[in-house]
Structure 1
Amino acid sequence: MPAIWDLPDFDSHEAVHVFEDRATGLKAVIAVHSTHLGPAAGGTRFWHYADSQSAITDALRLSRGMSFKNAMAGLPAGGGKAVILANPSRSKPAEMLDAFARAVDSLGGRYVTAQDVGMSEADMVHLSKTTAHVAGLPDQGGDPGPYTARGVYLGVKAAAKHVFGTDDMRDAHVAIQGVGSVGGGLARYLAQQGAKLTLADVDAHRAAALAEELGGVAVAADAIMDVEADIFSPCALGAILTEETVAGLKVRAVAGGANNQLAKGGEGRMLADRGILYAPDYVINAGGIINVLRHIDGADDAEINRRIDAIPGRLSEIWKESDASGSTPAEVADKMAQKLIGR
């Protein structure tokens, strides 16, 4: 395994901490990408990795993403990420969580953790008994999904205005991939505005039920990216924009809540070359983290809503610069974020 700073995803990270507690079986990585704007904030992922290098790579990549997301959301927070290497049985005993909480606490507040894949709200409450450096607790705003959904809805409207000259969503056709907390919330917002909806989810029954409720149409999960629509909104898994899928899109814009939508990065140029507007994922889906990190500077509901309301303006700024410079929206967003974190 190469040295950490020789890995492709190492991006002048301030610190990469590796923890092992033999008594509890804990193996974890905490990557601190930047504390330029405040404590490095980002969730903890509990995942069974093929090897330890994959876990480190994930922490490096995700922590950099959190630096960019928090900066572009206007938050007083840097970027960090933790991964706990799950064993094949994916058991998560309380003693191991205690050991991880001690690891977080040992960083003295330079890293603030939160919920992510494989970690529940109850796990966050458990961690908070040992360390104060936990965000997104039940008394700190609750479920981030509705906040993410509202931000994505405002971003979809902004995309419509940029492409079609109006953010009136009446009769606009939006194809939504994934109708969980975020995608389902987005669908309800759009239905209230009279949009035409095509929905898909790996849980076909959930998609069908929501389509019936909102007067939309449900299609198979593997067919949603083939739908001819005005806007495609990915709100499920990441890395869904590949060379193959981008070539097959029949939409004018991609604007959704999924993380890491571009499979390899170059798909951003492919979208631009096809005349498809792209909303950088970490900008449009920032509503959830805006809510989760409210305790960092004591933001109240009014301030949280103000920050979410700023998402469409930030996207418009990115698109205008992209149009003027010829850089893709993803490239423009990255440059803006890098400047904000002093890179």
Structure 2
Amino acid sequence: MPPTDLVDLAGHEQVAFCSDPDTGLRAVIALHSTALGPALGGTRFHPYPSMDAALADVLRLSRAMSSKNALAGLEHGGGKAVVIGDPHRDKTPELLRAYGRFVESLAGRYVTACDVGTYVADMDVVAEETRWATGRSPERGGAGDSSVLTAFGVLQGMRAAAQHVWGEPTLAGRRVGLAGVGKVGARLAEHLLEEGADVVVCDVDRSAVDALRRRHPAVREVADAEVLARTDLDIFSPNALGGALDDETVEVLRARVVCGGANNQLAGDGTAQRLARRGIVYTPDYLVNAGGVIQVSDELHGFDLDRARERTRAIFESTLAVLQAADADRVSPAVAADRLAEARIAAGGPVPWLPGRR
């Protein structure tokens, strides 16, 4: 499919391309919407097989950021950037500075941050050329590792789901299965243990599981995500790669709730409906994992962890509102979340669960 067709179908405000022969930079920035404010979204550094593949990914990701930022109550629209290349081989300070100049050329319409293949140290370099780089190190006035509030936000989503399903917002005594215990999953495991939950984990990275269990021997381990899905759980929590919930997984899933930090958890368009038909409550990923974007957005106002944490705490109210709307309208939570996000973007007004805030 030619790139122009992809752009026409996406309904984006602006898609900008950059090629810098001196540094090897090839990048795309997609602005889906700036109705609520400057577009905010991370920069993904990935060896895409073609420009069409990179473009398709950045359009999909930026559209999701519009919904994420809207439901988080942020004064930001949705945007995303991709840099084409192998981050282990092609990433250089000169390339990152060239990318910073590309971001700066959009004059504040796009605010960037970390994503797959980019890190806090990279944003420090990008910020040498633009003021519109967040996710910087604390030494540079930034918020640092955004997994801190990502995990905290997922915890709030779980508490809201517990309120919706079992009538009280507590995870004490609930069995929670974490598929992936990297930065977000490990922090989430610690929150859950503090709440009194029974935590079961798996990860393709043996060292990540070992490190977590050394700190917390009460954590139990299973072989892989397939075994975890078949385990008797109250909550199944994908916290690694996207596409964790395909048709086969949904059919064997034994949990009552799905709530995790991974992006793009649903493998297909019909997966949300399959979950609903099985009576499994799905908390949309972009709704509950918004703590990271709340954290980096706070940098633009002079980062304050306590302030950002309080905004992240509101993920409880937003998740509960989505689940209640889904029941009332007899639709999946994914559809209900999309509708609420679209309504806020269209109105540009306050979010019901954040009185007085846009």
The TM-score by the shorter chain falls in which range?
over 0.9
More deviation in 317-326 or 289-298? 289-298
What is the match of residue 33 of structure 1? 32
More deviation in 298-307 or 150-159? 298-307
Structure 2 counterpart of 1:142, one-letter code: G
Report the Cα distance in structure 2 between the residues aligned to 1:35 and 1:299, rounded to whole angstroms: 22
What is the match of residue 226 of structure 1? 230
What is the match of residue 215 of structure 1? 218
What is the match of residue 191 of structure 2? 189
Structure 2 counterpart of 1:32, one-letter code: L
1:47 equivalent to 2:46? Answer yes
Can you give the 5+ residue segments of structure 1 that lack an aligned partner in the other structure?
A: none
Secondary structure (helix, strand or coil) at the match of 1:206 reads helix
What is the match of residue 204 of structure 1? 206
What is the match of residue 238 of structure 1? 242
Report the Cα distance in structure 2 between the residues aligned to 1:260 and 1:162, rounded to whole angstroms: 23
Offset from partner CA, 1:41-66 (integer Å, 9 cap, x none): 11111100111100000110011111
What is the match of residue 265 of structure 1? 269
More deviation in 126-135 or 210-219? 210-219
Report the Cα distance in structure 2 between the residues aligned to 1:227 and 1:327, rounded to whole angstroms: 27
| Pairing partner for 2:168 from 166, 172, 176 | 166
Offset from partner CA, 1:247-274 (integer Å, 9 cap, x none): 1101100011111111123100000000
Offset from partner CA, 1:170-229 (integer Å, 9 cap, x none): 221111111122111111111122211111111224324424524121111242222121
Can you give the 5+ residue segments of structure 2 that lack an aligned partner in the other structure?
A: 348-358
Query: CA RMSD of the aligned region, Å?
Result: 1.8
Deviation at 1:148, TM superposition (A): 0.8
Report the Cα distance in structure 2 between the residues aligned to 1:190 and 1:141, rounded to whole angstroms: 23
What is the match of residue 79 of structure 1? 78
Secondary structure (helix, strand or coil) at the match of 1:342 reads helix
Report the Cα distance in structure 1 between the residues aligned to 2:247 and 2:309, rounded to whole angstroms: 36
TM-score when scaled to structure 1?
Answer: 0.95
The correspondence of residues 109-128 of structure 1 with structure 2, limited to 5 A, is 109-128=108-127
Report the Cα distance in structure 2 between the residues aligned to 1:126 and 1:296, rounded to whole angstroms: 17
Report the Cα distance in structure 2 between the residues aligned to 1:229 and 1:9, rounded to whole angstroms: 43
1:274 equivalent to 2:278? Answer yes
Secondary structure (helix, strand or coil) at the match of 2:346 reads coil
More deviation in 60-69 or 188-197? 188-197
- Closer, same or farther: CA 292–9 of 1 in aligned 2, 3 Å: farther
Deviation at 1:168, TM superposition (A): 2.7
The correspondence of residues 303-322 of structure 1 with structure 2, limited to 5 A, is 303-322=307-326
Aligned residues: 342
Structure 1 counterpart of 2:48, one-letter code: Y
